[in-house]
Amino acid sequence: MCDILNKAVPNKPLYIQYAYNSAWLNTPAIKFFGLGTKKFNVLPGTVLEKDKNGNFIGIVDGYTFQFHLMGGMLPQSNLEEEVSLFSYLINDLNRFGLTTVIDNSSLIGYPEGHRSLQMLIKDNKLNIRFPFADLGFSYDPNKIWADTEIERITKISPLSPGQNLHPDMEHGYEYEGTGEVLRAEGHDHENFDRPTMVTNENFWRISL
């Protein structure tokens, strides 16, 4: 895989992610992420594929949080770039006749992660219904996501499930709740190539 990607992009890091199953890297990207070094944090369940000589071939197999960590190492867009990217995306969706999408939560959750959407609404450029869920995702291992979400929607930026924040479009920017995950340990990781291990049932008895 690395050789194929090197032919396409030889001099700059190339990162391709397939869902939350795998990431494919060329040689500059392997060096950028620091595979095999202390720079690269390998989470449980992650496999860094190698050739018969023990060299990395640029394939990372893992679960959701491994790719979140890798995504956090990449250069990040500023707000102006995010708004521009969203505008292009929405225009493409409109070209295909789509009128509604759903955001099933983002790494940077509501309200911080929604600034670009809110700017599009303010400028009347959100030409698609955009209901959203929010998992209450937190990098703090001591925080339960459900508690984080309750804090967001009751204290930080109060709203209720079913509440539409778009001033003109029915269901245009509607909060649908917290989604399917109460705790990080219960995440199914959405990897259908390698289903994740089921959490010990005693954990849930204690947690709930």
How high is the pLDDT of residue 101? 94
Split into its structural domains, the chain has a count of 2
Give 9: exposed, middle or buried? Use CB within 10 Å, 0-12, 13-18, 19+.
Answer: middle
The whole-model pTM stands at 0.77
Looking at the structure, do residues 55 and 102 belong to the same domain, yes or no?
A: no
Reported as a single tens digit per residue, the pLDDT across 99-149 is 999 988 777 888 888 999 999 999 999 999 999 988 777 767 778 878 888
Q: Does position 204 have pLDDT exceeding 60, yes or no? A: no
Q: Does position 172 have pLDDT exceeding 60, yes or no? A: yes
Rounded to an integer, what distance in angstroms lies between the CA atom of residue 82 and that of residue 116?
A: 6
Report yes or no: 179 and 153 within 8 Å, Cβ to Cβ: no
Report yes or no: 172 and 130 within 8 Å, Cβ to Cβ: yes
Q: Does position 206 have pLDDT exceeding 80, yes or no? A: no
Looking at the structure, do residues 85 and 63 belong to the same domain, yes or no?
A: no
Angle, in degrees to the nearest 10, between helices 115-122 and 79-95: 70
Is 195 a member of any domain?
Answer: no
Reported as a single tens digit per residue, the pLDDT across 54-94 is 999 999 999 888 998 999 999 989 999 999 999 999 999 99
Is 192 a member of any domain?
Answer: no
Domain that holds residue 112: 79-186
Reported as a single tens digit per residue, the pLDDT across 10-37 is 999 999 999 889 999 999 999 999 999 9
Is 205 a member of any domain?
Answer: no
Looking at the structure, do residues 150 and 103 belong to the same domain, yes or no?
A: yes
The set of residues, in sequence order, having a beta carbon less than 8 Å from that of 186 and lying 6+ positions away, is 199, 204
